[in-house]
């Protein structure tokens, strides 16, 4: 049966593929008691469902392409093992015999018991195996319901045809998808600038988040369409709908090819003002895509992603140095702005969780995150600073500090940078002594108290994702309040405009590296506010460049001034329309 789900569009484009459920839904089945005479028949029903799922899994394994990621094969093997495990099989049969539950009831009851057990396990890896058991139980229930096993509809060997459907995907898990090419992503939770959404966007593949109950309603292997422009997910589409979306998909591919022509043209407005478009990266090798898209440098290297998936330790200085140096060398002389670690809130770090209590903090987004955590761990911070400074000997490097708000935080950070330089001098290791240090402006207090920053730092970078979150008191990752997360709220626009104006007046370079910089619908507005340096995911670069090439700064002055002059939504909207149409 075809149905449509609505969520938040976070990464543009259209994906058509089979659902690959990462964490299937809670299971809803009939519960009834059976007569003693039915018992053996009920157990036989279970055995034949088990046999059917075995055949299904074997077929999936046989169907895996040679180039399929090894995780795919491993998933299937684990599922086969679970299917034979006494904890699942014998205990379920015992429930049928002793309680006279129908087999579906016995199966979900046993799943619940196992889940409770799993929730108490400390080892995260083992705890996560709960999802595998859920997936196996779901397959068994499907087989019991008589749904046709569809091995050929399943994992067709290449994840290029698959769309990940999950309740939620942690940023650390998203990073693992970077090495695999799925067609799209759908999650039940998340907001437009949650880090999961940001990584999806960096992969340049269509995604919708906050699609409530998607992982409960979509079944493994369902054919689905993800419309990443509108946040729509169509499950089991009718042939005519499928045809329409296939057509739109090819139109978009054509548009993308046309955009490639802009790659080598200089980025300047119609009136001749040069605009700098840089790239946001999460891993050193993302710099390859940045160069390919024609970025003028890396405006934001989110180093915390290097620190994820490192289990029980933080990377050593040498390991970090190698990663920073690789990004710098890949950029081949173009500037690389390396942001010091920004963990906490929706980017928890496995290796330090529990140690400092931020995981248990009542308000992690307001807690010991980013620079606050770095300053509380000076040895860790010095290690990172030394690694970044050493990379500056191999190209153009700038250091960017996240989440600063207080003068003493800036001063302590600058002291530690001086200390890191001293340590490198003592060790006889090379670095650029004039490396520039900048601050993220992403806390309203920082924007309002801008003179503190202008006096102490070499450059600024506006982090609109957090600036919006903290100005509006809207958790950027919470889909329940996602409709109120508004980049065009007058308070947000005023803070951005003020920062741009004051930095310009003081002669301090300023860029925007939050997601607003990569949204072509906002390019003209930001240009009209005086922004000349944008940093965004490489996949957004050409479409933003197209907007820059079509814009004339002089004609933007008046409508942008009108946007800022009003606090009334209708008037702001009318002025924004004029900005877009000019
Ligand atoms: C921001 O807050 O806008 C930003 C660029 O940083 P992050 O998204 O990593 O918090
Ligand atoms: Mg931020």
Q: What is the CATH number of the domain that holds 226?
A: 3.50.30.10
**Is the pLDDT assigned to residue 149 strictly greater than 50?**
no
The answer to whether the CB of 463 is under 6 A from ligand 1 is yes
Please state which of the ranges 118-122, 524-528, 565-569 shows the lowest mean pLDDT.
118-122
Cβ atoms < 10 Å from Cβ of 112:
12
**Is the pLDDT assigned to residue 420 strictly greater than 50?**
yes
Residue 485 CB contacts under 8 Å (≥ 6 apart), including other chains: 191, 192, 193, 468, 469, 472, 474, 476
The average pLDDT across 68-77 equals: 69
339 in a labelled binding site: yes
Nearest Cα neighbor of 492 from 560, 442, 548, 553 is 442
Residue 26 lies in a domain: no
Mark whether 434 and 534 lie in a shared domain.
Answer: yes
- pLDDT for residue 191: 85
Residue 235 CB contacts under 8 Å (≥ 6 apart), including other chains: 2, 3, 4, 5, 19, 217, 218, 222, 223, 224
Give dist(CA 205, CA 487) in Å, integer.
Answer: 23
Domain that holds residue 386: 267-581
- pLDDT for residue 59: 82
302 in a labelled binding site: yes
442 in a labelled binding site: yes
Contacts 24+ apart (CB under 8 A), 262-265: 262/294, 262/542, 262/545, 262/546, 262/549, 263/293, 263/294, 263/542, 264/294, 265/545, 265/549
The fraction of the chain above a pLDDT of 90, given in percent, is: 66
Residue 535 lies in a domain: yes
Tell me the pLDDT band of 22, cut-offs 50, 70 and 90: confident
The 3-class SS string of 255-317 reads HHHHHHHHHHCCCECCCCCECEEEEEECCCCHHHHHHHCCCCCEEEEECHHHHCCCCCCCCCH
The ligand placed nearest to the CA atom of residue 515 is 1
Mark whether 210 and 298 lie in a shared domain.
Answer: no
Stretch (H or E) spanning 164: strand 162-166
**Is the pLDDT assigned to residue 152 strictly greater than 50?**
no
CA distances from 424 to 2, 225, 437 (A): 63, 54, 17
- How buried is 153 (Cβ within 10 angstroms: 0-12 exposed, 13-18 middle, 19+ buried)? middle
- pLDDT for residue 477: 87
The answer to whether the CB of 466 is under 6 A from ligand 1 is yes
Catalytic: which of 167, 489, 513, 537? Answer: 513
The answer to whether the CB of 513 is under 6 A from ligand 1 is yes
Tokens found for residue 350: 């496995």
SS3 content of the chain, % helix, strand, coil (to 5): 55, 15, 30
Q: At what angle do helices 39-62 and 70-84 cross, to 10 degrees?
A: 160
pLDDT in tens, 323-380: 999 999 999 999 999 999 998 777 777 655 544 444 557 788 899 999 999 999 999 9
The average pLDDT across 240-262 equals: 93
Tell me the pLDDT band of 20, cut-offs 50, 70 and 90: confident
Q: For the chain, how many residues are written?
A: 582
State which of 98, 113, 145 marks the end of a domain.
145
- pLDDT for residue 368: 92
CA 173 to ligand 1 centroid distance, Å: 18
Residue 250 lies in a domain: no
Q: Which of 12-26, 55-69, 505-519 has the highest mean pLDDT?
A: 505-519
Q: Report how far apart the first and last C-alpha atoms of the chain are (Å, whole number).
A: 45
Residue 504 lies in a domain: yes
Give the number of C-alpha atoms closer than 13 A to the C-alpha of residue 391, restricted to the C-beta side: 31
* pLDDT averaged over every residue in the chain: 88
Tell me the pLDDT band of 130, cut-offs 50, 70 and 90: confident
Mark whether 330 and 290 lie in a shared domain.
Answer: yes
The ligand placed nearest to the CA atom of residue 282 is 1
Q: Which of 145-149, 180-184, 517-521 has the highest mean pLDDT?
A: 517-521
**Is the pLDDT assigned to residue 429 strictly greater than 90?**
yes
Nearest Cα neighbor of 416 from 380, 441, 449 is 380
Nearest Cα neighbor of 29 from 85, 109, 134, 90 is 109
CA 399 to ligand 1 centroid distance, Å: 15
Mark whether 128 and 155 lie in a shared domain.
Answer: no
- pLDDT for residue 357: 43
pLDDT in tens, 208-248: 999 999 988 998 889 999 999 999 999 999 999 999 999 99
Nearest Cα neighbor of 205 from 169, 160, 247, 255 is 160
Strand order in the sheet with 8-11: 3-6, 232-235, 223-227, 14-21, 162-166, 184-187, 207-209, 8-11
State which of 145, 161, 177 marks the end of a domain.
145
Give the number of C-alpha atoms closer than 13 A to the C-alpha of residue 357, restricted to the C-beta side: 4
Mark whether 141 and 185 lie in a shared domain.
Answer: no
State which of 145, 175, 210 marks the end of a domain.
145
Mark whether 235 and 111 lie in a shared domain.
Answer: no
**Which is more confidently placed, 188 or 69?**
188
Residue 30 lies in a domain: no
Q: Looking at the 3D structure of the chain, how many domains does it have?
A: 3
The ligand placed nearest to the CA atom of residue 194 is 1
The CATH number for 84's domain is 1.10.274.10
Residue nearest to ligand 1 atom 6, measured at CA:
463
578 in a labelled binding site: no
Q: Which of 513, 518, 531, 533 to mutate to test the pocket of ligand 1 (most atoms within 8 A of CB)?
A: 513
CA geometry: angle 378, 379, 381, nearest 5 deg = 60
Mark whether 292 and 380 lie in a shared domain.
Answer: yes
Mark whether 157 and 93 lie in a shared domain.
Answer: no
**Is the pLDDT assigned to residue 453 strictly greater than 60?**
yes
Contacts 24+ apart (CB under 8 A), 326-330: 326/284, 326/285, 326/287, 327/281, 327/284, 327/286, 327/287, 327/298, 327/301, 327/391, 328/391, 328/392, 328/394, 328/395, 328/396, 328/397, 329/394, 329/395, 330/284, 330/285, 330/287, 330/288, 330/290, 330/291
Mark whether 436 and 564 lie in a shared domain.
Answer: yes
Is residue 182 within 8 Å of 159, Cβ to Cβ?
yes
Is residue 6 within 8 Å of 477, Cβ to Cβ?
no
Bridge partners for 459 per DSSP: 438
Please state which of the ranges 36-40, 80-84, 120-124, 131-135 shows the lowest mean pLDDT.
120-124
Residue 551 lies in a domain: yes
Q: Establish whether 513 is a catalytic residue.
A: yes
Mark whether 337 and 384 lie in a shared domain.
Answer: yes
Residue 28 lies in a domain: no
The average pLDDT across 397-424 equals: 98
Q: Which atom of ligand 1 is nearest to the CA of 464?
A: 3
- pLDDT for residue 27: 52
**Could you give phi then psi for residue 92, rounded to 5 degrees?**
-65, -45
- pLDDT for residue 70: 65
| Reported pTM | 0.73
The answer to whether the CB of 464 is under 6 A from ligand 1 is yes
Q: Establish whether 195 is a catalytic residue.
A: yes
Tokens found for residue 37: 């005479």
Mark whether 383 and 506 lie in a shared domain.
Answer: yes
Cα R_g (the chain), whole angstroms: 26
| Interior/surface letters 243-262, b for 16+ CB within 10 angstroms, e for the rest | eebeebbeebeeeeeeeeeb
52 in a labelled binding site: no
Q: Which of 21-30, 35-44, 173-182 has the highest mean pLDDT?
A: 35-44
The average pLDDT across 292-317 equals: 87
Give dist(CA 183, CA 487) in Å, integer.
Answer: 28
**Could you give phi then psi for residue 276, rounded to 5 degrees?**
-100, 120
Residue 25 lies in a domain: no
Tell me the pLDDT band of 260, cut-offs 50, 70 and 90: very high
Mark whether 383 and 471 lie in a shared domain.
Answer: yes
Nearest Cα neighbor of 412 from 376, 358, 436 is 376
The average pLDDT across 411-424 equals: 98
Catalytic: which of 156, 167, 195, 489? Answer: 195
Tokens 């478009």 correspond to 277
The answer to whether the CB of 302 is under 6 A from ligand 1 is yes
**Which is more confidently placed, 111 or 150?**
111
Maximal CA-CA distance, the chain = 87
The CATH number for 327's domain is 3.20.20.60
């Amino acid at each position: 049966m075809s149905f449509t789900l609505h969520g938040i569009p976070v990464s543009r484009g259209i994906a058509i593929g089979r659902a690959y459920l990462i964490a299937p839904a809670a299971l809803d089945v009939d519960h009834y008691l059976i007569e003693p005479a039915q018992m053996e028949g009920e157990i036989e029903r279970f055995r034949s469902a088990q046999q059917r799922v075995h055949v299904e899994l074997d077929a999936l394994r046989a169907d895996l392409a040679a180039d399929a990621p090894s995780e795919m094969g491993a998933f299937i093997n684990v599922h086969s093992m679970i299917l034979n495990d006494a904890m699942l099989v014998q205990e379920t049969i015992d429930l049928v015999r002793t309680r006279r539950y129908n087999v579906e009831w016995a199966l979900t009851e046993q799943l619940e018991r196992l889940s409770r057990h799993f929730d108490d396990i400390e080892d995260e890896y083992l705890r996560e195996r709960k999802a595998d058991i859920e997936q196996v139980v779901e397959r068994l229930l499907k087989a019991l319901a008589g749904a046709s096993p569809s091995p050929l509809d399943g994992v067709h060997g290449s994840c290029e045809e698959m769309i990940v459907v999950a309740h939620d995907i942690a940023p650390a898990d998203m990073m693992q998808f970077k090495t695999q090419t799925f067609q799209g992503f759908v999650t039940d939770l998340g907001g437009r600038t949650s880090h999961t959404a940001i990584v999806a966007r960096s992969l340049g593949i269509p995604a919708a988040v906050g699609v409530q109950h998607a992982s409960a309603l979509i079944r493994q292997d369902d054919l689905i369409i993800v419309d990443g422009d509108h946040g729509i997910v169509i499950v089991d589409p009718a042939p005519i709908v499928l045809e329409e979306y296939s057509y739109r998909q090819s139109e978009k591919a054509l548009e993308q090819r046309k955009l490639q022509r802009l790659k080598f043209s200089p980025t300047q407005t119609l009136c001749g003002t040069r605009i700098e478009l840089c790239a946001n990266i999460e891993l050193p090798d993302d710099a390859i895509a940045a160069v390919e898209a024609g970025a003028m440098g890396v405006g934001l290297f989110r180093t915390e992603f290097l620190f994820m998936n490192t289990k029980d330790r933080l990377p050593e200085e040498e390991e970090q140095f190698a990663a920073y140096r690789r990004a710098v060398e890949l950029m081949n002389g173009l500037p690389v702005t390396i942001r010091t670690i920004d963990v906490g809130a929706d980017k928890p770090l496995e290796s330090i969780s529990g140690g400092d209590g931020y995981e248990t903090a009542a308000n992690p987004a307001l807690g010991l995150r980013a620079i606050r955590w770095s300053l509380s761990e000076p040895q860790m911070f010095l290690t990172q600073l030394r690694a970044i400074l050493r990379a500056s000997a191999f190209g153009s490097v700038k250091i960017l500090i996240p989440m600063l708000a207080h003068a003493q935080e800036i001063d302590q950070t600058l002291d530690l940078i001086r200390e890191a330089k001293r340590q490198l001098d003592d060790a006889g290791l090379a670095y650029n002594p004039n490396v520039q240090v900048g601050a993220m402006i992403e806390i309203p207090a920082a924007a309002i108290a801008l003179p503190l920053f202008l006096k102490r730092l070499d450059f600024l970078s506006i982090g609109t994702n957090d600036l919006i979150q903290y100005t509006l008191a809207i958790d950027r990752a919470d889909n329940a309040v996602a409709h109120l997360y508004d980049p065009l709220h007058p308070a947000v626009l005023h803070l951005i405009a003020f920062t741009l104006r004051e930095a310009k007046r003081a002669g301090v370079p300023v860029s925007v590296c939050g997601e607003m910089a990569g949204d072509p619908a906002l390019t003209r507005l930001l240009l009209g506010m005086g922004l000349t340096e944008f940093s965004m995911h490489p996949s957004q670069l050409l479409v933003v460049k197209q907007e820059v090439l079509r814009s004339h700064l002089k004609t933007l002055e008046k409508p942008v001034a009108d946007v800022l002059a009003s606090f009334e939504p209708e008037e702001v909207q009318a002025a924004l329309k004029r900005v877009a149409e000019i």
